[in-house]
Amino acid sequence: MIVETIGEVEIVKAVVMTEFGKPEVLKVVNMEIPSINSKQVLIKVEKASVNFADVKARYGKKDKGKFPFIPGLDAAGTIEAVGADVQQFQVGQRVVAFPVGGSYAEYVVANENLTFKIPDSVEIDVAAACPTVSFLSYKLLADLARIEKGETVLIHSAAGGVGTTAIQMAKLLGAGKIIGTVGSEQKIAYALNAGADHVICYEKENFSEKVNELTDGIGANIILDSVAGSISEQSVNCLAKYGRLVHFGNSSGEIGHFKTSELHSSCRSVLGFSLGTTRKERPESLKETARQVFRYINEGHLNIKIGHYFSLEDVVSAHRLIESRQSTGKILLNINN
């Protein structure tokens, strides 16, 4: 990538939105290279991942942020500049980060406490694919659900980026049995290949009945739910006593309802989690998460599934794919190659 200079201003490319709407609102434009403050780093982005949260942001369902804005949660690349008060990083280091103001751009700015060094042995593609899905999976299972050895874990949307990563993470953290659900039969093999012991297509059969059958009537000890609505409600029907249903998204756009009588006498819990809120409110908690995740990747125990690549200029196609729910694994944007 060559940075164009107009006068004294360096011009780079970024995907910018000036309105909410369908994928076509994503426009590749020229913009000035961003500046940093004393506690930030400037990153030359090589890859950025596409997450379902980006779709929600595009429709304005996440918040009503000011226009124009750059979408995207995470990016991987090389540090080009560091602020005066930055102590952990230096120019030339490979990092992943949750940037300030979006990641679909050739250059991004990130706060030091939301930037993480990539181990030398980890490929940039894998690093780019990992922050949202692997950090999220670890937090859900280790910190929220507090998984115990031998427990049964049910993972909805098991063929997606979070799903395939959570399957592996559950196994690494000691799960005894891992059950996935998918929306179409074509995705079953992908979830099985990620390591699920059983995969249920909820369009073809009642997943809660099948989970109870597979667990001899006990149910799942942990359920990871990013779908919401009726899926959440049905999940309670196969949640074991002392089980934890962790709700971390609502890709269905529906609202689920729970009865208090379904919880207290069975000692079951419904827990909520948002990686976005955690980045904002408790960013320091992600330092240990990053250390654990990169250790798993570095040792070859965690394999981030990358299903699709798109150029920055073809970002509209990337969004169409993830929104169609036909994607498998992570979607990456090639930005500076």
Which CATH number characterizes residue 174's domain?
Answer: 3.40.50.720
Model confidence band, residue 337 (pLDDT cutoffs 50, 70, 90): low
| Single residue among 276, 292, 326 that ends a domain in this structure | 276
Mean pLDDT for the chain overall: 92
Residue pointed to by tokens 């780019």: 128
Domain match, 104 and 183 both: no
Question: Is pLDDT of 29 > 60?
Answer: yes
Question: Which pLDDT band holds residue 122 (cuts at 50, 70, 90)?
Answer: very high
Question: What is the Cα–Cα distance from 169 to 143, expressed in whole angstroms?
Answer: 12
Same domain, 208 and 318: no
Instruction: Check whether 208 has a pLDDT greater than 60.
Output: yes
Question: Are 147 and 109 members of one domain?
Answer: no
Given a cut of 60, whether residue 217 has pLDDT beyond it is: yes
Residue 284 lies in a domain: no
Residue 72 counted as domain residue? yes
Reduce the DSSP state of residue 138 to 3 states and report it. Answer: helix
Instruction: Tell me the H-state helices in the chain.
Output: 52-58, 124-129, 131-138, 161-172, 188-194, 207-214, 230-235, 275-281, 286-298, 315-324
153 plus 61 within the same structural domain: no
Q: Is the pLDDT of residue 176 over 50?
A: yes
pLDDT of residue 262: 84
Domain boundary among 276, 293, 318: 276
CA 267 to chain centre: 29
Question: Two tokens at 226?
Answer: 């990013």
CATH code for the domain of 314: 3.90.180.10
User: Do the domain assignments include residue 91?
Assistant: yes
The tokens describing 210, both together, are 């099948």
Do 155 and 33 lie in a common domain? Answer: no
Of the pLDDT bands very low, low, confident and very high (cuts 50, 70, 90), residue 7 is very low
In a domain, 115, yes or no: yes
In-domain check, residue 297: no
Together in a domain, 188 and 309: no
Mean pLDDT over 93-101 rounds to: 96
Spatial separation of the C-alpha atoms in residues 223 and 273, rounded to whole Å: 13
Do residues 239 and 313 share a domain?
A: no
CA 93 distance to own-chain centroid: 23
Q: 315 and 31 in contact (C-beta within 8 Å)? A: no
The answer to whether residues 116 and 228 belong to one domain is no
Task: Inform me whether the pLDDT recorded for 279 exceeds 60.
Answer: yes
Which pLDDT score is estimated for 10? 79
Is 10 contained in some domain?
yes
Position 29 in a domain: yes
Average pLDDT over residues 68-84: 96
* Same domain flag for 117 and 152: no
Q: Are residues 10 and 108 in the same domain?
A: yes
The boundaries of the domain holding residue 51 are: 4-130+304-334
Looking at the 3D structure of the chain, how many domains does it have? 2
Based on the domain organization, do 218 and 183 belong to the same domain? yes
Q: Which of 151-155, 169-173, 248-252 has the lowest mean pLDDT?
A: 248-252
Q: How many Å apart are CA 181 and CA 137, to the nearest integer?
A: 16
What tokens appear for 182 in the block? 């998918």
pLDDT tens digits, 299-331? 999 988 888 999 999 999 999 999 987 787 789
pLDDT digits (tens, 9 = 90+) for 43-57: 999 999 999 889 989
Q: Has residue 258 got a pLDDT over 90?
A: no
Q: Both tokens of residue 201?
A: 């297509």
Indicate whether 237 belongs to any domain: yes
Sorting pLDDT into bands at 50, 70 and 90, what band is 193? very high
Residues 185 and 265 in one domain: yes
